[in-house]
């Protein structure tokens, strides 16, 4: 067990190094510091101006280390700063990136956690329901609805719901959020702010999720041991809850972890549209302002979270299902 965990951790660490290299290639080799400076200063910027800008933001070093001069390259600085979590200041407005991210975390989590949990529960319940009535018209209708839901762009969900529920019916504010709300514990207000984005978030992903869970359940239902349980007189409901749900945990777990970055994807748009000042909004601002210094930290942090989640799943497999051998 220990060896297994260690191996997963070691591989995770290696992957982090790989991710850092990829980030470097994208943000330093594909978009060279000169281009970045020119984007920040405008096309007409002079050579001296560019050099000054590069020096100010620490881009005035060679990209790659050479044999003659192994230290002092941008590559090294990149690895050192991200691995030590010293993110420095934004190229755009000099605000410390670390602080910005810490501040944004709360708002992001306030949106994603309720969305994630309600989406998971709703998806599982719907899928169980549909799988319970498999091969009836309820099943067919359910799958049809899922595919319908999958075919609509999240943009349409957001724009449509804002238009109908906020603008026409005026049930909720179109957008807005107040970070103090969390600190004050003003749940009522928080609910008003979050209701629409959470609903939209759940709506936009339930189609794909439900259909996936249904496939897993139906596959499990047709297994021999389930038939045996049923033959022994266990009620259909009991079979579904006790046997099918439990044995379907592995694929569900995988799906859930894989969904974590997608959760962020959804929240990126949701935050921007609903004016929630979380990490998604920060990212969108960074894109608009060509602020690569923030963007690359974002990529790094989310890759890191993903890798950790992956390791956690691998380990939790063994807890959920004792049949999974640690190789």
Contacts of 31-38 spanning 24+ positions with Cβ under 8 A: 31/292, 32/63, 33/59, 33/60, 33/63, 33/74, 36/91, 36/290, 36/292
Neighbours of 1 (CB within 10 A): 8
Task: State the nearest-atom distance from the C-beta of 291 to other proteins, in Å.
Answer: 10
283 vs 264: CA distance, rounded Å: 11
Task: State the nearest-atom distance from the C-beta of 208 to other proteins, in Å.
Answer: 10
Q: What is the DSSP letter of 308?
A: H
Is residue 63 classed as helix, strand or coil in its secondary structure? coil
Under the criterion CB under 8 A, does residue 218 sit at the interface with other proteins?
A: yes
- The answer to whether the Cα torsion of 111, 115, 302, 151 is positive or negative is negative
Under the criterion CB under 8 A, does residue 297 sit at the interface with other proteins?
A: no
Under the criterion CB under 8 A, does residue 303 sit at the interface with other proteins?
A: yes
Under the criterion CB under 8 A, does residue 10 sit at the interface with other proteins?
A: yes
Under the criterion CB under 8 A, does residue 30 sit at the interface with other proteins?
A: yes
Q: Who contacts 22 (Cβ-Cβ below 8 Å, separation ≥6)?
A: none
Closest CB to other proteins among residues 196, 299: 299
Under the criterion CB under 8 A, does residue 7 sit at the interface with other proteins?
A: yes
Name the β-bridge partners of 89.
Answer: 96
Closest CB to other proteins among residues 123, 149: 149
Pick left, alpha or beta for residue 172 (phi over 0 → left; psi -120 to 50 → alpha; otherwise beta): beta
Task: State the nearest-atom distance from the C-beta of 150 to other proteins, in Å.
Answer: 6
Under the criterion CB under 8 A, does residue 159 sit at the interface with other proteins?
A: yes
Under the criterion CB under 8 A, does residue 138 sit at the interface with other proteins?
A: no
Stretch that binds other proteins, among 75-83, 103-111, 160-168, 246-254 (CB under 8 A): 160-168
Closest CB to other proteins among residues 181, 280: 280
Q: In the structure encoding, which two tokens stand for residue 266, read together?
A: 């959804």
Helix (H) / strand (E) element for 147: namely helix 137-150
Ramachandran angles phi, psi of 89, nearest 5°: -105, 160
Closest CB to other proteins among residues 76, 265: 265
Ramachandran angles phi, psi of 248, nearest 5°: -85, 5
Binding site for other proteins (CB under 8 A): 3, 6-7, 10-11, 14-15, 18-19, 21-23, 26-27, 30-31, 147-148, 150-156, 159-160, 162-163, 167, 174, 218-219, 261-262, 264-265, 268-269, 283-284, 287-288, 290, 292, 295-296, 298-299, 302-303, 306-307, 310, 327
């Amino acid at each position: 067990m220990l060896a297994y965990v260690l191996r997963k951790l070691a591989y995770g660490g290696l992957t982090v190094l790989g991710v850092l290299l990829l980030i470097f290639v994208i943000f330093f080799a594909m978009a060279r510091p000169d281009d970045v400076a020119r984007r920040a200063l405008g096309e007409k910027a002079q050579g001296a101006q560019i050099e000054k800008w590069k020096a100010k933001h620490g881009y005035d070093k060679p990209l790659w280390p050479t044999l003659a001069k192994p230290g002092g390259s941008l590559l090294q600085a990149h690895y050192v700063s991200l691995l030590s979590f010293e993110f420095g200041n934004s190229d755009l407005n000099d605000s410390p990136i670390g602080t910005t991210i810490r501040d944004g975390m709360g708002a992001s989590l306030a949106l994603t956690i309720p969305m994630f949990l309600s989406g998971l529960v709703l998806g599982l319940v719907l899928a169980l329901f549909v799988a319970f009535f498999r091969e009836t018209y309820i099943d067919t209708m359910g799958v049809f609805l899922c595919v319908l839901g999958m075919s609509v762009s999240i943009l349409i969900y957001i724009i449509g719901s804002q238009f109908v529920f906020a603008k026409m019916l005026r049930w909720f504010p179109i957008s807005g959020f107040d970070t103090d709300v969390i600190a004050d514990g003003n749940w009522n207000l928080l609910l008003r702010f979050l209701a629409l984005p959470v609903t939209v978030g759940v709506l936009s992903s339930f189609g794909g999720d439900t259909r996936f869970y249904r496939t897993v359940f139906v596959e499990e239902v047709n297994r021999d041991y389930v038939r045996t349980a049923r033959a022994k007189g266990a009620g259909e409901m009991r079979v579904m809850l006790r046997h099918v749900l439990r044995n379907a945990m592995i694929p569900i777990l995988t799906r859930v972890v894989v969904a974590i970055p997608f959760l962020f994807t959804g929240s990126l748009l949701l935050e921007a549209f609903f004016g929630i000042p979380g990490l998604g909004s920060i990212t969108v601002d960074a894109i608009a302002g060509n602020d690569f210094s923030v963007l690359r930290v974002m990529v790094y942090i989310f890759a890191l979270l993903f890798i950790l989640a992956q390791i956690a799943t691998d380990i939790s497999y063994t807890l959920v299902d004792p049949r999974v051998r640690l190789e």
